[in-house]
Structure formats: C-alpha cells, structure tokens
C-alpha cells in the first residue's frame, strides 16, 4: 500500500493542503483533493462507458472505459479497472490495465498492479517494481523560454 500512498501523495490525493494546486516542486497535484471526493468525477466499479470524456478537473476510472479522455486535471486508473482509450491529461496514474496512447503534461506513474500497452509521452515517468509497460516511452522535458537579452540603445 506504500506505493499507492506515494502515488496518491504525488498526485495530490494525500490530503496535503495547497490551494493553488501546485507543490513546491512545481508539479500539479499537490492540492488537497482527498477532501474533495472523486465520487462525482469517477466511473465506479462494475460500470462501463464508451465514448469521449472532455473537461477540466480530475477523473478516476474504477470500472471499464473505452474511447477518448481529454481532461485538464489528473486521470487515475484504479487497480482492477480496464481502459481502452487514448488519454490526454495533466497527470496520469495507472493501477489497472490501459491499452492506448497516454500524454501527460507533467507525469505518468505506473503502479505495481498497472499494465500499459501503448505509447506514452510525458515530462516525467515512473514505473514501480512489478508494473508492466509494453510500447514506446517518450520523456519530453518542458521547453523553457530563452532569456531575453537586454538591448542598449
């Protein structure tokens, strides 16, 4: 359970308070989302959905999802969940099975129970011991703007 707690902490679900939603390390996910349950933003166990999901905020999948996911927050694929989808989000945690392409602005984390088959593009990536990843992994650091030289007239 320590790895799961670590992942949830990294993604801001540990209960730490940061109203801006940014931690001292600059990643999204340090906001206190544990107090805001994901119940209204979750596909519960035993439920299936086929289609496209878009919007802001976080989304947790505990059941079966097939289609496209484009959200401005975090996507959490819980252990036991099955996803056949392309996912585009700020951060992604995979604890279940995902078949598709993942794109995360900040971080993708594969938990020990996680299985990913597909291409992944992100700024930071971690796979726990026991995780299963089949496909391409592209780590692309955020581009920082070049300093502007002062002109002397």
Tally of domains in the chain: 1
With respect to residue 146, please indicate whether it lies within any of the assigned structural domains. no
With respect to residue 151, please indicate whether it lies within any of the assigned structural domains. no
With respect to residue 144, please indicate whether it lies within any of the assigned structural domains. no
Q: What is the pLDDT of residue 133?
A: 94
With respect to residue 111, please indicate whether it lies within any of the assigned structural domains. yes
How far, CA to CA in Å, does 72 sit from each of 3, 28, 31? 24, 10, 14
Per-residue pLDDT reduced to its tens digit, 39-56: 458 787 888 889 999 988
90, two tokens: 């700020």
Per-residue pLDDT reduced to its tens digit, 57-86: 899 999 999 999 999 999 999 999 999 999
With a cut of 90, say whether residue 89 has pLDDT above it.
yes
With a cut of 80, say whether residue 130 has pLDDT above it.
yes
With a cut of 60, say whether residue 97 has pLDDT above it.
yes
Residue 13 neighbours by CB distance under 10 Å: 24
With respect to residue 145, please indicate whether it lies within any of the assigned structural domains. no
Residue 133, domain extent = 2-47+55-139
With respect to residue 80, please indicate whether it lies within any of the assigned structural domains. yes
122/108 Cα distance (integer angstroms):
7
- Diameter over CA atoms, the chain: 69
Query: Of all residues in the chain, what percent carry a pLDDT higher than 70?
Result: 66
With respect to residue 13, please indicate whether it lies within any of the assigned structural domains. yes
132/114 Cα distance (integer angstroms):
6
144/81 Cα distance (integer angstroms):
36
**pTM summary value:** 0.68
């Amino acid at each position: 359970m320590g790895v799961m707690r670590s992942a949830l902490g990294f993604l801001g679900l540990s209960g730490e308070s940061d109203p801006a939603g940014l931690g001292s390390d600059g990643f999204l996910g340090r906001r206190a989302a544990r107090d805001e349950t994901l119940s209204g933003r979750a596909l519960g166990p035993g439920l299936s959905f086929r289609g496209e999901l878009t919007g802001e905020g976080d989304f947790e999948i505990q059941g079966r999802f097939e289609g496209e996911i484009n959200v401005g927050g975090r996507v959490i694929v819980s252990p036991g969940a099955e996803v056949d989808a392309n996912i585009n989000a700020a951060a992604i945690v995979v604890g279940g099975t995902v078949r598709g392409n993942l794109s995360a602005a900040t971080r993708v984390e594969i938990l020990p129970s996680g299985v990913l088959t597909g291409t992944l593009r992100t700024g930071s990536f971690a796979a726990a011991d026991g995780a299963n990843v089949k496909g391409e992994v592209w780590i692309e650091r955020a581009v920082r703007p070049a300093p502007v030289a002062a002109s002397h007239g």
